[in-house]
Amino acid sequence: MKIIDCQVFVSCPGRNFVTLKLTTDNGLVGWGDATLNGRELAVASYLRDHLCPLLIGREVMNTEDTWQYFYKGAYWRRGPVTMTAIGAIDVALWDLKGKALDTPVYNLLGGRSRDRLLVYTHAQGQDLDDTLTAVATAQAAGYRAIRVQSGVPGLGKIYGIGSGDAYEPVSKGVRPEEETWRTEPYLRFVPELFAAVRKEFGPDLLLLHDSHHRLTPIEAARLAQDLEPYHLFWLEDTVPAEHQASFRLIREKTVTPLAVGEVFNTLHDCQQLVSEQLIDYLRMTVSHGGGLTPMMKIAHFAEPYHVKTGCHGPSDISPIALAACLHFGTAVNNFGIQEYMGYADATEAAFSHDYSFGDGYLHVGDAPGLGIEFDEATANAQPYAPAYLPVNRLEDGTMFDW
C-alpha cells in the first residue's frame, strides 16, 4: 500500500488549522494535524515544499522507517516546525494503517489500557467571583478536573483569560497584541484564588493551574509551596524549561505536582526532567512531538520514572490531533490526564469524530484508524487569516515570556 497523493489544507473553520491528507493506491485516505498556532504557514510550506514530494511512492506500513527518514534524513533536526510537520505525516500514516487493518489505532499501539480518559477543562474569569462561577459551570457540565485561571487585581488582561468565546486569545492581523505583566501581584493572588475555590467546591474536585512560563525557579518554588494546602493535581509551566536543571530547585522545595512540556518536541527536551524525576506530568502532545511513533517511545521511557502523560490539547490543535492523543492515552500504561476544551461549532462542523465526552471523561470510539474525517469543502470555504498569540512585556517595557 503506497502513498500516491499528499495535500495540505490551510483553513479557518472556527480558527486556523493546517490539515494533511494522504491518499493511497488502494483508495484510502489518512489525516494528520499540522497546526502550530501562529506559525501555520511555515509548517504548511515545510510539508508542501519539502516532505510531500518525498512521500509519494512510500510504503504506508513502514511508519518507523518513514519517521527516521524525515527526522534523520533532513540533517536539520528538531524544532516545532519540523516536528509538527513530521508529526502530521506520522499520525496520518497510523490512521491509514488502522483503516487498512480495519482496527482502531490504539490496537496497533498496545491495545486498550483503560476504558476512558480523564480530562480537564478550563475555567477562567475576569476576577475571583467570575472565576468561581466559571468553575461551577465546568463542574455542572460534568468535568472532574478543572484548570483555574483568573484575572489578577492590579494587572490588566493576562494570559488564560479570553475575551468572549475566542481561546487561546488571538489577535487577528499581522501584528500581535501586547500585554503587560507584573509577577508579584500574581504570586500573592493565586493562593487566595485556590483557597476560595477549595472552600467553595470541597476536596474532591481536581484542580490545575498554568503559570505559562512566567516565573523564575525561586518564584515557582514560592508559588508551589503557597499552593500546597489546596492539593493541586498539577502546577503547569512555572518556568521556561529550556534549562531543565532549573526544576531541581523547585522540586526540592515543594510537594505540589509539576507539569511541563507543551512546547517540547523531542525526548531531548525532557530527558533530564524525566530521568531525574523533576516533574510528575509531561505535557508534550502528539502533533507537536513528532507523532505517535516517538511519543510511544517517550511514554515508555517515562513510565519507570513515575512520570505520566498529560497531553496538551487546547482548541488550537485540531480534533485530528486530539484523536491521536486519545488513541495514545488509551494505549499507554502511564496515561495521566488529557486537556480538553471542546471546539467552536465551526470546527465541529469541519471535523467529524467518533470520540465523545461524558461524565468527565473522553471516550474513544472503535472506528478503524483515528475515527476522524475532515470535510474539505466546509473547511476550505473559511480561508486562513493571520492571527497571533499576544506578546508580553513587563511594565517598564522589557520583553517577557509568554
Is 281 a catalytic site residue?
no
Q: Which of residues 198-227 bind ligand GCO (CB under 6 A)?
A: 210, 212
Q: Where are the alpha helices (DSSP H) in 244-306?
A: 246-253, 271-275, 292-302
Distance of CA 300 to the CA centre of its chain: 19
Question: CA 19, CA 34: separation in Å to the nearest integer?
Answer: 6
Q: What is the closest distance, in whole angstroms, from the C-beta atom of residue 284 to ligand GCO in the complex? A: 12
Query: Which entry of ligand GCO, Mg ion, none binds 314, CB below 5 to 8 A by partner kind?
Result: ligand GCO
Minimum CB distance to ligand GCO smaller for 221 or for 260: 260
The residue from 210, 219, 269, 280 that contacts Mg ion (CB under 5 A) is: 210
User: Binds 316, which of Mg ion, ligand GCO, none (CB < 5 to 8 A, cut-off by type)?
Assistant: ligand GCO
Nearer to ligand GCO, 15 or 58 (CB): 15
Q: Which of 120, 167, 209, 212 is catalytic?
A: 212
Binding window for ligand GCO (CB under 6 A); candidates: 75-83, 124-132, 308-316, 319-327: 308-316
Taking CB within 5 to 8 Å according to partner kind, which of Mg ion, ligand GCO, none is near residue 296? none
Instruction: Find the part of the chain contacting Mg ion (CB under 5 A) among 51-59, 69-77, 118-126, 208-216.
Output: 208-216
> Catalytic annotation on 306?
no
- Binds 74: which of Mg ion, ligand GCO, none (CB < 5-8 Å by kind): none
User: Does an H or E element contain 366, and which?
Assistant: none
Using CA atoms, how far apart are residues 216 and 250, in angstroms rounded to an integer? Answer: 10
> What is the spatial distance between Cα 16 and Cα 19, in angstroms, rounded to a whole number?
10
Q: Residue 139 corresponds to which amino acid?
A: Q
The catalytic residue among 46, 159, 230, 361 is: 159
Collapse the DSSP code of 118 into the 3-class scheme (helix H, G, I; strand E, B; otherwise coil) and give the result.
strand
- Is residue 168 at the binding interface for ligand GCO, with CB under 6 A as the rule? yes
Strand 258-260 and strand 281-282: pairing? parallel
Site membership for ligand GCO, residue 33 (CB under 6 A) = no
> Which of residues 14 and 98 has its CB atom nearest to ligand GCO in the complex?
14
Q: Decide: 5 and 13 in contact? Cβ < 8 Å.
A: no
Instruction: Give the rounded distance of the alpha carbon of 25 from its chain centre.
Output: 33
Number of neighbours of residue 396 by Cβ within 10 angstroms: 7
User: Read out DSSP for 70-88?
Assistant: HHHHTSS--SHHHHHHHHH
